Amino acid sequence: VTSVKEVKVCLLGESGVGKSSIVLRFVSDTFKQGLEMTIGASFMTKTLVVDQQTVKFQIWDTAGQERYRALAPMYYRGASAAIIVYDVTKRDTFDAVKGWVRELANYGPKDIIIALAGNKSDLEDLREVTKKEAAQYAEQIQAIFIETSAKNDSGIKELFTRIISRLPAD
């Protein structure tokens, strides 16, 4: 008998940080330079089998542009986890993470798992946010922290498996 655990996850973060690229890499193992900006939100699923458990992720990829910001609650409502993405080469996108953390604390589901993903780690020469600084912040807020590259397929699967390991046992 196999039971499938359905896990709702949403991605939040500024426009252009690579939310859709992370999802595209995770779901289809592809990367597109110059992906279109997301309009509203997009939905995808991906099933992972980890330690004999089957997890079906229901992934809501939100649009980072300011004009869509008010829609976010529709997507984090009922979510088990929120992945807040920033771009390691853009300091302002890391500063914006704090706003999302505050919003989730105030209006998000109680006990939502927060994962902080520092994307575009392949662009080391352009880095503006150190790994140490982000790791310290994540520890403060008890979030999962990982640096990712959707382009190089670095850290993406680990991001989702680390979310699984924090899910409450059923």
Binding residue (CB under 6 A) for ligand GTP from 10, 57, 59, 64: 64
* Dihedral over Cα of 27, 155, 87, 7: its sign: positive
DSSP letter for each residue of 11-79: EE--TTSSHHHHHHHHHHS---TTPPPPSSEEEEEEEEEETTEEEEEEEEEE--SGGGGGGHHHHHTT-
- Does 71 bind ligand GTP (CB under 6 A)? Our answer is no
Supply 37's token pair.
Answer: 């900006």
Q: Which is nearer to ligand GTP, 66 or 111 (CB)?
A: 66
Q: Which is nearer to Mg ion, 76 or 164 (CB)?
A: 76
Which one of ligand GTP, Mg ion, none interacts with residue 151, CB within 5 to 8 A by kind? ligand GTP
Q: Which of residues 22-61 bind Mg ion (CB under 5 A)?
A: 38
Binding residue (CB under 6 A) for ligand GTP from 27, 35, 48, 167: 35
Binding residue (CB under 6 A) for ligand GTP from 59, 82, 134, 149: 149
- Does 41 bind ligand GTP (CB under 6 A)? Our answer is no
- The minimum distance between CB 21 and ligand GTP, in angstroms, equals 3
- Does 44 bind ligand GTP (CB under 6 A)? Our answer is no
Cα atoms in the 13 Å half-sphere on the side-chain side of 7: 30
SS3 106: helix
Q: How distant, in Å, are the alpha carbons of 52, 93, 120 from that of 25?
A: 23, 21, 13
- Phi, psi of 114, rounded to the nearest 5 degrees: -110, 130
List contacts with ligand GTP (CB under 6 A).
15-21, 32-35, 37-38, 63-65, 119-120, 122-123, 149-151
List of residues contacting Mg ion (CB under 5 A): 19-20, 38
